[in-house]
Structure 1
């Protein structure tokens, strides 16, 4: 174990590697007490929880933020199928066990939200509570995901469909990782996102690129140049394929999770989204279904005027909601 100093006053965070079926998972942790596992989304890393680690530690919890398989210092298997949901669930179980715990609360943002939700669904013996940020829980069901996303956008291509072809998005992103990340972060942040009526950055014109619709010129208020350096440095070193392979497994997940079709998550749960976040607003019906799909829901919050990166854009509110919810479980 080592102590690392990075931007945003994370000098007390310790880092370790844990063995898993993928090889290794990198974990950044702080504090002692009941374990809270934090799972990031795309395109981020453990660093997206830099504001929550000290807040949870101060509240009496052992906070552990992972680099998801394919990201940062965690292993990056070559096979696309190695990034299927059930493999990521087992990574999370391996982390809990390696940290010497039997159970944990799990909290996820963006892709981390369905990873956290499915961890709670598949392994309720390990994950005693689940917090979901930005992406609401929606049980497995309906047509294959690839069929749903292919129908979105009309003449334009939805970003998830754009990500499916191996190497295509990589060719756009990897020549200028820092610039691409800055554009994406700005496109989905409340203070820098394109104005209403502008072309939607979640879609690609035929023959175009995602970044064609990203704003330029300034970073969102939550993101410093040093923060951007941390994110860019990770992806410049690792490339983007491991991260993108998560998107390339949605149909496999749909097949793997067939036995959970329509299944609710019954553990105590929490949802936090942003009113300006498409990940939240597009799934308004999923929020309405929570009495059925999340019967253990303690509370659901849509933060007014907040974009996609909720725990970074509105860190104090999110920290208060998380610590209050966790305290209510004890």
Structure 2
């Protein structure tokens, strides 16, 4: 294990099934593991790390395998959910803890939920941001996404399935593509109602064709964009995109847990303008059954997908208040 200090943030590399995982931690106290989504990194928790530390917690934000300074296994199937959950367990152990609260955003929300579902002995509570919990089961994911698209356009998850296809769009201009996606899903810069939906790709087109151009959302500075772009320019985007290419494998792997609830204490925070919360409103409605330990479900008005970056103060307050209830 290698430790490096950067002002109040501690950068560490720990051994995990991925090979090595990079994380950034701050504070002391009960462990809170923070798991980012696509296309992000530990840096998406930059506002939460100091807030959680000030509230008396040891906050640790990882680079998920395939991202940032973490290992990037070459095989597509190395990014299945079971492997990402094993990485989370390894981080908790490597940090010398028996248990943790796990909090995730976007894909990190799914990873956090699966971690809590499969290892309730390790993950004693779970916070989910942007993407609601839906128990394993239902039809094969790629069949569903193919039906969503239709003859004239393709759903972005289907667009991501073929190795190399999305990479060929993103990697010649990583910074521009990221800026466009962040803007497309942010409350203050997303396309107006009735304009083409950036979650879909016109047949023969590119995903970025529907991104807003020339403006950054209020939460994203040029420096922030430089941090994100610098990581993906160095690592490429294949590791990150491989998460989408394992959804059918996850469906098979998690079949024994079909319909299973998460019983630990839980919290949900989403943006009211985020497609993740509007498309999955039925999943939120089902929380009394699927999340019986839910403390609260919050939909933040005039907020998009990047909830902890768009509304850091509000999210920090909701997280620390909820964590306080876990301390009794």
TM-score class, shorter: over 0.9
Tell me if 1:112 matches 2:112: no
Deviations 1:268-287 (A, max 9, x none): 00000001100111000000
Which residue number corresponds to residue 227 of structure 2? Answer: 230
Counterparts of residues 201-220 of structure 1 (less than 5 Å): 201-220=198-217
Deviations 1:179-207 (A, max 9, x none): 00000000000001111100000000000
State how far apart, in whole Å, the 1-side matches of 2:203 and 2:314 are. Answer: 40
Deviations 1:245-289 (A, max 9, x none): 000000000000011000000000000000110011100000000
Which residue number corresponds to residue 54 of structure 1? Answer: 50
Of the three residues 153, 173, 183, the one matched with 1:176 is 173
What is the deviation of 1:99?
Answer: 0.3
Tell me if 1:196 matches 2:193: yes
Structure 1 stretches of 5 or more lacking a match?
5-10
Tell me if 1:152 matches 2:154: no
Deviations 1:95-154 (A, max 9, x none): 000000000000000000000000000000100000000000000111100001010032
State how far apart, in whole Å, the 2-side matches of 1:206 and 1:34 are. Answer: 49
Task: Report the 3-state secondary structure (helix = DSSP H, G, I; strand = E; otherwise coil) of the residue aligned with 2:308.
Answer: helix
Deviations 1:34-81 (A, max 9, x none): 000000000000000000000000000000000000000000000000
Which residue number corresponds to residue 30 of structure 2? Answer: 34
Tell me if 1:20 matches 2:16: yes
Which residue number corresponds to residue 319 of structure 1? Answer: 316
State how far apart, in whole Å, the 2-side matches of 1:208 and 1:255 are. Answer: 31
Which residue number corresponds to residue 289 of structure 1? Answer: 286
Which residue number corresponds to residue 4 of structure 2? Answer: 2
Which residue number corresponds to residue 271 of structure 2? Answer: 274
Post-superposition, which runs of at least 4 consecutive aligned residues in structure 1 deviate over 2 A?
Answer: none
Structure 2 stretches of 5 or more lacking a match?
none
Tell me if 1:122 matches 2:121: no
Task: Report the 3-state secondary structure (helix = DSSP H, G, I; strand = E; otherwise coil) of the residue aligned with 1:108.
Answer: strand
State how far apart, in whole Å, the 2-side matches of 1:2 and 1:87 are. Answer: 26
Task: Report the 3-state secondary structure (helix = DSSP H, G, I; strand = E; otherwise coil) of the residue aligned with 1:132.
Answer: strand
Task: Report the 3-state secondary structure (helix = DSSP H, G, I; strand = E; otherwise coil) of the residue aligned with 2:126.
Answer: strand
Which residue number corresponds to residue 7 of structure 1? Answer: none
State how far apart, in whole Å, the 2-side matches of 1:167 and 1:199 are. Answer: 25
What is the deviation of 1:2?
Answer: 1.2
Q: Give the alignment's Cα RMSD to 1 decimal.
A: 0.5
Deviations 1:7-41 (A, max 9, x none): xxxx3111010101110000100000000000000
Tell me if 1:73 matches 2:75: no
State how far apart, in whole Å, the 2-side matches of 1:227 and 1:129 are. Answer: 30
TM-score norm. by structure 1 comes to: 0.98
State how far apart, in whole Å, the 2-side matches of 1:299 and 1:257 are. Answer: 26
Tell me if 1:138 matches 2:134: yes
